[in-house]
């Protein structure tokens, strides 16, 4: 069963903030939809993962370690449309973490 976007974001924020990171919501969620849709039409959630540290010290591999604690199967993928993305799943919801890095 899928849980609400707000609940997912609250739980993930608690986890990533321990590592000095935060999340921001992007995509359809900003327009009042519970979940956006990926290219296959499946529901997903697009989040930005960023840090309080100097941006040059935050790498995609650092972000993957943080997200892997939520989903052991998380994968780092290169995107031709944006920055590196981590594909993960949390409580039945597919999540794309867009990484802001140096």
1, pLDDT greater than 50: no
pTM value? 0.79
Banded pLDDT at 2 (limits 50, 70, 90): very low
pLDDT tens profile 55-74: 667 778 888 898 999 899 99
Task: Report which of residues 23 and 43 the model is more confident about.
Answer: 23
CA distance 64 to 43: 22
Tally of domains in the chain: 1
The length of the chain in residues reads: 102
Alpha helices in the chain (DSSP H): 5-17, 60-68
Beta-strand (E) ranges in 43-92?
43-51, 75-77, 85-90
Percent of the chain clearing pLDDT 70 (strictly above): 75
95, pLDDT greater than 80: yes
Question: What range defines the domain where residue 54 resides?
Answer: 5-99
* CATH code assigned at 92: 3.30.460.10
Q: CA-based angle 71:50:34, to the nearest 5?
A: 65
Task: Report which of residues 95 and 29 the model is more confident about.
Answer: 95
Q: What is the DSSP letter of 100?
A: P
């Amino acid at each position: 069963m899928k849980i609400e976007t707000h609940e997912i974001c609250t739980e993930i924020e608690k986890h990533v903030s321990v590592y000095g990171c935060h999340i921001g919501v992007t995509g359809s969620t900003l327009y009042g939809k519970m979940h956006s849709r990926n290219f296959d039409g499946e529901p997903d959630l697009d989040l930005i993962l960023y840090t309080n540290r100097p941006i040059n010290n935050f790498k995609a591999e650092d972000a993957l370690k943080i997200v892997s604690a939520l989903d052991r199967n998380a994968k780092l993928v290169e995107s031709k449309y944006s920055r590196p993305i981590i594909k993960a799943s949390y409580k039945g919801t597919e999540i794309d973490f867009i990484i802001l890095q140096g």
